[in-house]
């Protein structure tokens, strides 16, 4: 009887800790403000292979703040990209809440073959803020200055402030070299979202809390770090919502922690921007 009471007490304490942790992370995201006053919302670009979980990541973040599983962005498993347009998604703090200070930008999936999937030139246009929302991707013909809606003089608020590579943990070992080349073309603060960790490791599938205890997941994170040339601290494991009907506290905390990392990278972008502006003023 005493053992059972102790177990129940430990369970309740752990549950309270997780609830408090989730609430703290959500509040940190809600109250975040970009350090550049002309930028009301940080813009984060999600790129990755077809089916890696870019759209699912937005749906998952949206689900956490809505309090139930949602699927606003089209997501699923397919050999070709389900996302064919450049979409900017603003997450609201609840059903009728205010927009959060972060915009997640979804793109067509990267593909290994030339003339298929997201083009490197289109990536450059997105980073610089030229691409309009809902632009229909055409792998055979990248965005150009005469395209309807092309933003000729984008402001700081239109540009991308952080790039997140979304990589399927179960496919790290078969990542095509051409894909790595496309990723290397990007040179702004970036991190890696390692998705589907539960599918890659049985230990994590049994209990998501084992994610940082799994030697296999740690090895995958190190492999991604080396192959993409990013520090290990920039590789963030997450579990998107896909077939679930209810939210999970542990999954929520991983997802929210990933957003916090994104906002830290956004701060790095603005710090670098400020340094460059200061240097230019000194030269003048």
> Residue 92: which CATH number?
3.40.50.300
User: How many domains in the chain?
Assistant: 1
pLDDT at 284 over 60: no
Helix (H) or strand (E) holding 8: helix 2-30
- Residue 11 banded pLDDT, cuts 50, 70, 90: low
Higher pLDDT: 191 or 284? It is 191
Name residues whose C-beta falls within 8 Å of residue 194's C-beta, 6 or more positions apart in sequence: 167, 169, 172, 217, 220, 221, 224, 235, 236, 237, 238
Is-above-0.85 flag for pTM?
yes
Q: What is the pLDDT of residues 38-76, one digit of tens each?
A: 999 999 999 888 788 888 999 999 999 999 998 876 554
* Domain span at 277: 1-282
Mean per-residue pLDDT, 87-106: 90
CA–CA distance, 60 with 47 (Å, rounded to integer)? 16
- Residue 113 banded pLDDT, cuts 50, 70, 90: low
Q: What is the pLDDT of residues 27-39, one digit of tens each?
A: 999 999 998 889 9
């Amino acid at each position: 009887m005493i053992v059972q009471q102790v177990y129940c007490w430990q369970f309740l304490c752990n549950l309270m800790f997780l609830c408090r942790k989730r609430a703290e992370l959500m509040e940190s995201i809600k109250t975040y403000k970009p350090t550049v006053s002309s930028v009301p919302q940080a813009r984060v670009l999600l790129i990755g292979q077809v089916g890696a979980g870019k759209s699912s990541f937005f749906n998952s973040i949206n689900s956490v703040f809505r309090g139930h599983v949602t699927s606003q962005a089209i997501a699923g498993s397919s050999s070709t990209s389900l996302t064919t347009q450049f979409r900017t998604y603003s997450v609201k703090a609840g059903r009728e809440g205010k927009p959060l200070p972060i915009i997640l930008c979804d793109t067509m999936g990267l593909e290994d073959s030339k003339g298929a999937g997201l083009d490197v030139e289109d990536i450059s246009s997105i980073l610089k803020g030229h691409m309009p929302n809902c632009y229909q991707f055409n792998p055979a013909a990248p965005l150009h200055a005469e395209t309807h809606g092309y933003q000729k003089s984008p402001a700081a608020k239109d540009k991308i402030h952080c790039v997140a590579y979304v990589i399927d943990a179960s496919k790290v070992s078969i990542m095509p070299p051409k894909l790595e080349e496309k990723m290397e073309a990007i040179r702004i603060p970036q991190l890696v979202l390692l998705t589907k960790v539960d599918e890659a490791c049985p230990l994590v599938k049994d209990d998501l809390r084992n994610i940082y205890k799994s030697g296999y997941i740690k090895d995958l994170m190190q492999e991604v770090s080396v192959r993409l040339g990013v520090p290990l601290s920039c590789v963030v494991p997450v579990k998107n919502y896909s077939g679930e009907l209810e939210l999970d506290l542990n999954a929520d905390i991983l997802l929210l922690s990933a957003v916090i990392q994104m906002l830290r990278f956004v701060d790095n972008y603005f710090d670098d921007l400020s340094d460059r502006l200061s240097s230019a003023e000194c030269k003048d």
